[in-house]
Structure 1
Amino acid sequence: MLSALGIATGTLIIFMMMLSLLFVGMPLGFMTGFIALSMSYFWFGNIAMMQMVANRVSDFTTSYTFIAVPMFVLMATLLDKTGIARDLYNAMRVMAGRIRGGVAVQSMVVAVILASMSGIIGGETVLLGMLALPQMLRLGYNQKLAIGVVVGGGALGTMVPPSIVLIIYGMTSNVSIGDLFLAAVPAAAILSSMYILYILIICRIYPDYGPAMDKSEMEEMTREDMKKMFLDILMPILIAVWILGSIYAGIASVTEAACVGVVGVGLAAAIRGELNVKVIFDALKHTISTVGMIIWVGIGATMIIGVYNLMGGDIFINDLFMGLDMPPIFTILIMMFILLILGMFLDWIGVAMLTMPIFVPIITNLGYDPIWFGVLFCVNMQVSFLSPPFGPAAFYLKSVAPEGIELTDIFKSVWPFIIMQVITLAILITFPEVVEFIYK
């Protein structure tokens, strides 16, 4: 049996198997499940231990909190299929377009509002790519700035509560998701404010990067147009307040608030006359597809972590980190570096499922707050959404980008936003009280 080789060799074998199977293109969920079954058989001599792993998988898939994930995905999909997000963008574009960089700034504000309603990046990036990017290019905005705004703003869906990244982290780390949402608010405010400040500064230095809109568009608006514009802005804000307010006021749990959000978006769509059988069917189909992927990745990651812990891997990794002859903060930095590297090649769900069950007990033993660490993880994943070679936000945007914009153009445009993400991460590591004050 492989157990005679020791846990260090077993860890190396698992790592090499993961690299090999990723290289041949095996999906992450199937890959981790295959490795878990293989190591269970060759390490323990049979697969009897898989009964314990099966119990872990059952606990994951039947968790009451997990119901929030398909609800938030459904809500984001309904926003995508209806005109709520489109009209919100168009209304704010008119309001902010008369200043340099104004359309880019309001695109970022719209991104934050949409993020507070959905919690995912795919639909938000696609929406901004369809609405904001062509508009900024038409107005003469610098292409790199316009692309960076769309990709950076779209990725905020995983940072601004109710973020599905935070929900998955809370489930895998067994910490309060409500506290995670509260802690993420100042972090998201810092990052989005940094984006907006960058836009204003760069457009001030280089006026041709973000020229103002023609004043005639605002002057030609009638009273009815102004009324519609006001309602187009008010309705999404009310939905966001409805969702987050019910959580922070203690009226509803995260799961219940997700259901409330779906009802809110559904009612808004019905009031606007946009809710029909086709929209509902398309939204449900997309939700099933997305959640199915999340479940399979979660099952595979839960299996391999369960087997690895049974092998003694959790003790091995804990002793390895705790035995390092360096200040505890360097352990945090090493973990952040590992997450950055993993995020370049793996989906955030896989990164969370594979690392958090191991990392969180270690940082807790070191005396750090797991809520604070969850926010660090979330900011870290912001980098992975934008960074080459597999930054998902870039691929989402490429799917709807105007003709002539290539994937290389997108990756060349994201570096200022990646730098701001890393700066935000450094601020939160250096000053934990920035996020801790709000929930302690």
Structure 2
Amino acid sequence: LSASVAIGDLFLAGAGPGLMLAFFYASYVVIRCYLNHSLAPTAAEVAAIRGEQSDMTPEKKLAVTLCILLIASVMGSIYAGIASVTEAAAVGVFGAIIVALIRNRFDWTLMQQALSGTMSTVGTIIWLILGAVAFVGIYNLIGGAGFMRSLFADLGLSALGIIFVMMLILVVLGTFMEWIAIVFITVPVFAPVIRDLAPELGMSPDWAAVWFGVLFVMNMQIYFLSPPFGPACFWLKSVAPAHIPLQRIFAAVLPFIVLQIIGVALVIKFPEIALFLPRMLGGS
């Protein structure tokens, strides 16, 4: 919305970098656990520590299977071209209702909670979009886009150098601002500059915008992991055993932040990691 980029192209462009990062994370975990077996205790060892047996009951297996099928139905409908992103949301709602019915969890209380949460989220997003539209309109009327173009041009950097500066700005903002605020403040400013740099980057303006969108999302993942804000760390703390301090979680995510930075650098150096799939499937 902020950069006028097709959401379908962004979804497709995120597949390559997403699989690459998943490989990085999985490889790191496997190597660490191979070097230190205590980091990945067996189910029997965990049961001995907790003093209780935690078997994979048929109910748990069913819950995991249904969860995987629900995710596959939503993402599969998008990638297969069966449904648009908006329509895929309806697929997800229908699938969630089916899952609740199968697990005998569907009742009026659940519906009330779901509807209340949905209305709260939608209301928040609408106000954010209104603010973003107002900001972009005023920004363009006062010549902000032209000013930013001249500002980055006066830096005397190459296109990749300007991209690096933008990534650095996003990392700094991510240490003290909410991600959605960063989106609405920076994307309308950066997007026109990226489109102007497209010839130097060797791609069309539309593909340059898609590529930058993927870089932006990958950068925001660093925000989710980075202290002192690091929402993912606080979410993990909420489900971790009480004796594990937050400082330990912050320290544990540092290697993943490094892997994320490596991933961003690779996508900057090799844009086809992100663009090969949408180009192959005939995106914009």
TM range (shorter): 0.7 to 0.9
Code of the residue aligned with 2:35 in structure 1: it is I
Specify which of 392, 405, 410 is matched with residue 244 of structure 2: 405
Q: Which residue of 2 aligns with 1:393?
A: 232
1:151-190 equivalences under 5 Å are: 171-190=1-20
Specify which of 197, 201, 224 is matched with residue 31 of structure 2: 201
% identical equivalent positions: 44
Alpha-carbon separation, structure 1, partners of 2:121 and 2:63? 28
Q: Which residue of 2 aligns with 1:272?
A: 103
Q: Which residue of 1 aligns with 2:275?
A: 436
Query: Would you say the 8 A contact 2:218–2:260 is kept in 1?
Result: yes
Alpha-carbon separation, structure 2, partners of 1:396 and 1:287? 21
Q: Which residue of 1 aligns with 2:74?
A: 243
Alpha-carbon separation, structure 2, partners of 1:208 and 1:400? 20
CA spacing shift, 1:406–1:234, aligned 2, 3 Å: closer
Specify which of 151, 157, 160 is matched with residue 329 of structure 1: 160
Query: Would you say the 8 A contact 1:186–1:435 is kept in 2?
Result: yes
Q: CA deviation at 1:377?
A: 0.5
CA spacing shift, 1:173–1:212, aligned 2, 3 Å: same
**SS of match in other structure, 1:439:** helix
Specify which of 182, 185, 203 is matched with residue 351 of structure 1: 182
Alpha-carbon separation, structure 2, partners of 1:216 and 1:411? 23
**SS of match in other structure, 2:278:** coil
Q: Which residue of 2 aligns with 1:414?
A: 253
Matched, 1:370 2:205: no
Q: Which residue of 1 aligns with 2:143?
A: 312
Alpha-carbon separation, structure 2, partners of 1:299 and 1:407? 36
TM-score (norm 2): 0.85
Gaps of 5+ in 2: 48-52, 202-207, 280-284
CA spacing shift, 1:221–1:328, aligned 2, 3 Å: closer
Matched, 1:287 2:94: no
Alpha-carbon separation, structure 2, partners of 1:231 and 1:319? 58
Alpha-carbon separation, structure 2, partners of 1:262 and 1:312? 43
TM-score (norm 1): 0.56
Query: Would you say the 8 A contact 1:298–1:350 is kept in 2?
Result: no
Alpha-carbon separation, structure 1, partners of 2:229 and 2:46? 42
CA offsets, 1:222-245, max 9 Å, x none? 9x956x565444322322222122
CA spacing shift, 1:221–1:356, aligned 2, 3 Å: closer
Q: Which moved more, 1:303-312 or 1:330-339?
A: 303-312
Q: CA deviation at 1:378?
A: 0.6
CA spacing shift, 1:403–1:230, aligned 2, 3 Å: closer
Alpha-carbon separation, structure 1, partners of 2:25 and 2:259? 7
Q: CA deviation at 1:393?
A: 1.8
Q: Which residue of 1 aligns with 2:204?
A: none
Q: Which residue of 2 aligns with 1:114?
A: none
Code of the residue aligned with 2:34 in structure 1: it is R
Q: CA deviation at 1:362?
A: 0.9
Gaps of 5+ in 1: 1-170
Alpha-carbon separation, structure 2, partners of 1:192 and 1:301? 32
Code of the residue aligned with 2:26 in structure 1: it is I
Specify which of 152, 170, 189 is matched with residue 339 of structure 1: 170
Code of the residue aligned with 1:242 in structure 2: it is S
Code of the residue aligned with 2:110 in structure 1: it is V
Alpha-carbon separation, structure 1, partners of 2:277 and 2:219? 21
Alpha-carbon separation, structure 2, partners of 1:301 and 1:335? 19
Query: Would you say the 8 A contact 1:175–1:371 is kept in 2?
Result: yes
CA spacing shift, 1:313–1:199, aligned 2, 3 Å: same
Code of the residue aligned with 1:301 in structure 2: it is A
Code of the residue aligned with 1:309 in structure 2: it is N
CA offsets, 1:89-122, max 9 Å, x none? xxxxxxxxxxxxxxxxxxxxxxxxxxxxxxxxxx
**SS of match in other structure, 1:238:** helix
Query: Would you say the 8 A contact 1:294–1:349 is kept in 2?
Result: no
Alpha-carbon separation, structure 2, partners of 1:308 and 1:176? 22
Q: CA deviation at 1:334?
A: 0.5
Report the aligned-residue RMSD. Answer: 2.5
Specify which of 266, 274, 297 is matched with residue 128 of structure 2: 297
CA spacing shift, 1:206–1:398, aligned 2, 3 Å: closer
CA offsets, 1:227-281, max 9 Å, x none? x565444322322222122222222111011111111111111121111111121
CA offsets, 1:321-349, max 9 Å, x none? 13332211001000100111111111111
Q: CA deviation at 1:373?
A: 0.9
CA offsets, 1:121-143, max 9 Å, x none? xxxxxxxxxxxxxxxxxxxxxxx
Q: How many residues align?
A: 266
Alpha-carbon separation, structure 2, partners of 1:187 and 1:325? 30
CA spacing shift, 1:329–1:213, aligned 2, 3 Å: same
Q: Which residue of 2 aligns with 1:257?
A: 88
Matched, 1:382 2:213: no
CA spacing shift, 1:186–1:394, aligned 2, 3 Å: same
